[in-house]
Structure 1
Amino acid sequence: MNRISVGDASLTSILQRQGAALKADMQRASTEVVTGRQTDTAAAVRGDLTTLAALDASLGRLAAYRSTAADAGFLSGAMQTTLATLTSVAGPAATALLRAASMTTPSQVNTAAAEARVRLDTALGAINTQVAGRSVLSGVETGVSPLGTAEELLAALETAVTGATTTDAIETAVRGWFADPAGYGTFYRGGVAQAPVPIAPGESADLAVTALDPAFRDTLAGLAMAALLDRGLMNSQPSARVDLANRAGLMLQNSEDARVGLAARIGIVEAQIETASTRNGAEDSALKIARSAIGAVDPYEAASRLEELQAALEALYLVTARVSRLNLAEYIR
């Protein structure tokens, strides 16, 4: 019988192919030992990727909810900060105006009016606050400031109170301008309130708050009426100025209810966002655990497989080394 032998070149090629295959297998085995997952997930699930696709889709939706919930929480926090600033402005202004009215001295009224004018700037600045390049209280028009400047506001009010000769008439004109869509409504530059934001499956956070809310409008009305005194309103009638200072102080005091009410409504939404975020986080963790279980490898089996491949590769290297040393002199010997 004739023997069929493999030539040196063919044997070398075979050994090289085997070496390359063993190295590739070792690389995969090493990866599986480190990650605890099979490198070929499709093979692990026998080509049925339905469950894996469903898990990935759910994780993607939760990631979107996480983003919108974080954005809503950021927005609600900014609103609460604005309200806190208004309260810190309105409280001292109301106290100063009521104290000045009780003293009935022109200098005290002048000082309180000047202070109210400065605080009006602060209040408008807080309402016009932009966070991450977006106006918080402009509704859908996040690219513009919701309100104009204090100078523009007071100029419009001066026009509105023109012809009013009594404190009753002036207060009525100021209140009317702030309640009028053609007054404060046109001073507002933002858009309609934003739609509810989805924060979890079947759940949305409603932060439909703009600078048109009474919490902001009533506070500005009290500050603005007091600031008109700083611009010389009723200068020739000291007693009327005292009365207006008292009325402005009371307006600011009464505006606290609207601010507290709005802060409470936003606080409820903040709690809702926190609860939804916690629930989303728990579901995300559970889904990730379930996904990790698909295609997971047994650590002991993976380590044993790696050792086997290392031993096979070492044996191949030994054979290759011996074959590479074969020559005629070694054969004859």
Structure 2
Amino acid sequence: MTRISVGDASLTNILARQGADLRGQVQRAAQEVATGKHADIGKVMRGDVAPLLAVDASLARLAAYKTNTTDAAFQTAAQQSAIAGLSQLAAGITTTLMASRDFPTPAQVNATAADARGRLASVVGLINTQASGRAVFSGVATDTLPLSGAEDLLVALETAAAGSTTAGQVEAAVNGWFADPLGFGAFYQGDASLSAAPIAPGEAADLSTTAMDPAIRDTLAGFAMAALIDRGTLAGNAEERARLAQIAGQTLHRTEDARITLAARIGTVEAQIETARTRNAAEETSLGILRSDIGSADPYEAATRLENVRAQLESLYLVTARVSRLSLTEYLR
């Protein structure tokens, strides 16, 4: 019988390769025991990773929707708060303004006008509301406040109403300026409305409200007419000044329904966003569980494999140690 032997160099290479392979198996098994995840998903799925890629794509899409819903929720909440503030400011002075013609002295009209001027500054501040550093009523120009100061607004209106001698003329001039693209349209520093934001598959949130919305614009007009009195408009004509204050109050009263409608519209979008957010979160949780199941390793099987491979590696080390000690003297013994 012919005996085939392996040379020392060849044997050393064989043992080295086996050692490297076993060490790799130990490392992979130890990783699976520690993480509970397969070290080689592709091998486990026999190369068919399409289901895993589909789950990962869905999770990535949900992550994008999560960002959109968060941003949209901030936007609408800030808008809703600002609209509520406008209504509160209007409610605090509307009745007083409407009763201006019944005031016994011009001083009371003047005091009410001064109050309106202060409220106008607050109104402009609310319209310039920012959420997370973004102006919420500026449309796509989120880095720009929609309006400059209240005093700038009044200066522009004074120019538009120059030469007016009656409350009706001032009212017409103010309303004309707010309706004019070269008036309030040019004063508005924002841009076109934001596009609808995708918040779920086949669903988008309407974020189109800007400072150009009629409810906001007309509310500004009402406060501005009263504030102009405090800047000296129709000076010397107490009756027309009282009449202008009354018109301002009527304007604010007339815009109440528009503000309520606007708030309701934004509230509907808020509810839509919250519903989409809840639905997306539930889907994300389900997909996360599925993704975890696909990549999960059996901890008992991985631990058993780790011990077996360790035992093989230890045996290989013993063989390698004995081979490395071989010499002619040892062989002759």
Quote the residue 1:140 is aligned against: 140
**Aligned partners of 2:96 and 2:330: how far apart in 1?**
111
Question: Is 2:152 the counterpart of 1:131?
Answer: no
Choose 221-230 or 2-11, whichever is displaced more.
2-11
SS in 1 for 2:64: helix
CA contact (8 A) 2:100 2:243 kept: no
TM-score by length of 1: 0.89
**Aligned partners of 2:265 and 2:63: how far apart in 1?**
26
- Measure how far apart 1:63 and its partner are: 2.0
- Measure how far apart 1:159 and its partner are: 2.6
**Aligned partners of 1:13 and 1:161: how far apart in 2?**
98
Give the letter for the 2:150 counterpart.
A
- Measure how far apart 1:272 and its partner are: 0.4
Choose 148-157 or 317-326, whichever is displaced more.
317-326
Over the residues paired in the alignment, what is the CA RMSD in angstroms?
2.5
CA contact (8 A) 1:128 1:135 kept: yes
Question: Is 2:302 the counterpart of 1:302?
Answer: yes
Quote the residue 1:160 is aligned against: 160
Alpha-carbon spacing, 1:142–1:295, altered in 2? closer, same or farther (3 Å)? closer
- Measure how far apart 1:76 and its partner are: 0.9
- Measure how far apart 1:54 and its partner are: 2.2
- Measure how far apart 1:50 and its partner are: 2.2
Give the letter for the 1:278 counterpart.
T
**Aligned partners of 1:2 and 1:43: how far apart in 2?**
41
> What's the CA shift string for 1:136-176, capped at 9, x where partnerless?
21222334332233233212222332333222332233233
CA contact (8 A) 2:101 2:239 kept: no
**Aligned partners of 2:285 and 2:166: how far apart in 1?**
67
Quote the residue 1:29 is aligned against: 29
CA contact (8 A) 2:114 2:230 kept: yes
Give the letter for the 2:186 counterpart.
T
Quote the residue 1:192 is aligned against: 192
CA contact (8 A) 1:45 1:295 kept: no
> What's the CA shift string for 1:252-294, capped at 9, x where partnerless?
3333322222111111101101111111122222223223333
Quote the residue 2:290 is aligned against: 290
- Within 5 Å, give how 1:60-71 maps onto structure 2: 60-71=60-71
CA contact (8 A) 1:120 1:227 kept: yes
Quote the residue 1:236 is aligned against: 236
Quote the residue 1:112 is aligned against: 112
SS in 2 for 1:138: coil
**Aligned partners of 2:15 and 2:88: how far apart in 1?**
82
> What's the CA shift string for 1:58-99, capped at 9, x where partnerless?
222222222222221121122112213323433334366457
- Measure how far apart 1:243 and its partner are: 2.9
SS in 2 for 1:204: strand
CA contact (8 A) 1:104 1:242 kept: no
Question: Is 2:50 the counterpart of 1:50?
Answer: yes
- Measure how far apart 1:101 and its partner are: 5.7
Aligned length: 333
Quote the residue 1:74 is aligned against: 74
SS in 2 for 1:198: strand
**Aligned partners of 1:197 and 1:104: how far apart in 2?**
54
Give the letter for the 1:160 counterpart.
A
**Aligned partners of 2:101 and 2:32: how far apart in 1?**
81
**Aligned partners of 1:4 and 1:45: how far apart in 2?**
41
Quote the residue 1:209 is aligned against: 209
**Aligned partners of 2:185 and 2:244: how far apart in 1?**
24
SS in 1 for 2:234: coil
**Aligned partners of 1:165 and 1:311: how far apart in 2?**
104
Choose 16-25 or 146-155, whichever is displaced more.
146-155
> Which runs of 5 or more structure 1 residues have no equivalent in the other structure?
none
